[in-house]
Structure 1
Amino acid sequence: MKIATYNVNGINGRLPVLLRWLAEAQPDIVCLQELKCPQEKFPIEEINGAGYQAIWKGQKSWNGVAILSKGYEIKEVQNSLPGDPDDVQSRYIEAIINQTVICCLYLPNGNPYPGEKFEYKLSWIKRFKRRTNQLIKMELPAILIGDFNIIPTEKDVHKPEKWEDDALFRTEVRKAYKDLEKKGWLDSIRKIYPDETVYTFWDYMYKSYERNAGIRLDHILLSPYLSPKLSKAGVDEHVRGWEKSSDHAPVWIELKK
């Protein structure tokens, strides 16, 4: 089973890129972030035409998350992160597919640091950790997947010294990511590529993609139940080079049956 995540950075504006990649990569399950469209504007007909069912939660102009599935039924569990009924940002959707809990997330960016946006990011992370702890205690096959807006370590960023006061690389958020790993969540990419330079995002400015001046923000974390089934993982970096592509590249794993 091939499972992928892709921050599309505007699903309607970049729909040709998404459909091209789906046809090429043929993932079974896909988590999308930054839809940037209201609920009723999600291109469900085109997604169905590509062979996928979908659940989604849109938001006008900003945010938005979706889960796509080809060949497996999607049972939605919840479409918001528990713990704050006043939080209206569309950043989390959870489903059960093929007896696996899929937690698709678009974690807040948090910039500028310091400030209210960074505090919101930290509070969101606390709520998220509560949910991930529940999944660990239940010993379920589960996947945390999406744009975490966290650069886990220095080897996940080009010139880390320039990022010390960025909300993506602050000590607090890197510790939160490390805490997930300590609880048993496996970083799929680092399991397969422990020492290699792997990026998933390249800014549109300064020829970042051409210079490979990137960062790793998009992650797929596996619960202990699923970790032994990991067989392959990768980043479709070439998609970032397509015309009118997102500034993120798709990230994927393959699980043994």
Structure 2
Amino acid sequence: MPYVFPPPAQAAVPVAGSDAVFPVHRIYCVGRNYAEHAEEMGHSGREAPFFFMKPADAVLPVAAGTLGRMAYPGMTAELHHEIELVVAIGKGGADIAAAAALAHVWGYAVGLDMTRRDLQAEAKKLGRPWCTGKSFERAAPIGPITPLAAAGAIGSAAIALTVNGVVRQRSSIDKLIWNVAETIEHLSRYYVLQPGDLIFTGTPAGVAAVAPGDVLEGAIDGLDSLRLLIVEGAGG
């Protein structure tokens, strides 16, 4: 059966040290998964993990050693950065036990959960979904995915973000409220995970606004860094 128009290209992310690319199926995000970030957003305690999604084509892949470009999106005056460890799923499944979860991981990457914070805050106030605040064009910049075997001891890695050379966010992966294995266990109760899924695992404290001309650099020990320039323009 012919398509009525050509289908869009497959969203994909580069693989570190390879010409291969990782095809993206879905993008899942974990909310408030660092205690200090939960506190700065007005919450506290180790709440049960909760999830939201971005469309696969929100991914903005940035190759190693390059400066990506993200157009400042429309309908916001408060675009925030959120640096995150991204888990790339290589083996699908449902109801995955935490003890078996890492067998489903293909690799890791540095990602940014870019957020139209003013729209998200308004949605929260009205009890509405966060989609306009979280799910928009190029809302998920990501660096190359490092295969699991080459990523090293990611569970204790440092994570940091600078804006124009000034540190905004700094923490370590072992401060996740729900670690990678636990996150996969919880998420796979709600969704059948598939190869190609990406999980943005949550951001440390220090989220703040960026503006056109700002250069963001996200780093996690053992992974390729992610560099991003915010440029003028709406809609990506």
- Taking structure 1 as the reference length, what is the TM-score of the superposition? 0.24
Q: Name the structure where helix makes up a greater proportion of residues.
A: 1
Q: Name the structure where strand makes up a greater proportion of residues.
A: 2
